[in-house]
Structure 1
């Protein structure tokens, strides 16, 4: 199990929402545990599944007309496994 944070950034004009919505729709349909925030999306799953979803999200943004797309990915993988909830547990308890 891995936790991955990624952002798909279309290099287009001011209105990014239709492009970002296309990427988020791919994530929703994936069935993986995810969390969307203001700057990125965090996914949890097996490495191959997560990478496949990120690739599809990237392609979805290209598919709705972005002529150029930049995708950034950070992956946390441990021998013992990791979950989003475990990563955030201490922080959420403090809030």
Structure 2
């Protein structure tokens, strides 16, 4: 299962970099495969693992304001692992084939 999410504090000021850093720290310390880009963090694991990390990251961001916005998207594909890199590799392979 892949879970992509974005968390932002509300009411804590203009910059969210400290809050995002706290959330990404939770993700990286979880040990789950992960990737962070300019808009989302994606993690790979089972339901319980992923939702626990999202909950803890949300709590970390919540310490930076009085309200939190969470956007979450999941790709649920039982029996498949390594999709964090696998999906991108298959796309790049297709693009290289022309």
TM-score greater than 0.5 by the shorter chain: yes
Distance 1:54 1:90, change over 3 A: same
RMSD of aligned alpha carbons: 1.5
Tell me the secondary structure at the aligned position of residue 88 of structure 1.
helix
Task: Return the TM-score normalized by structure 2.
Answer: 0.86
User: What does residue 75 of structure 2 align with?
Assistant: 76
Q: Distance in 1 between matches of 2:79 and 2:22?
A: 33
Which protein shows a greater Rg?
A: 2
Deviation for aligned residue 1:87:
1.3
- Provide the residue aligned with 1:3 in structure 2: 2
d(CA) in 2 for partners of 1:49 and 1:79? 14
Q: Please report how far the alpha carbon of residue 16 of structure 1 lies from its aligned counterpart in structure 2 after TM superposition.
A: 0.7
1:31-51 superposed Cα distances (whole Å, 9 cap, x missing partner) = 000000000100001111000
Structure 2 distance, partners of 1:66, 1:91, is 39
Count of aligned pairs between the two proteins: 93
Q: Distance in 2 between matches of 1:81 and 1:30?
A: 20
Q: Give the drift of 1:53.
A: 0.1
Structure 1: where are the runs of 5+ without partners? none
Q: Give the TM-score normalised by the residue count of structure 1.
A: 0.88
Is residue 18 from structure 1 mapped to residue 25 from structure 2 by the alignment? no
Give the structure 1 partner of residue 87 of structure 2. Answer: 87
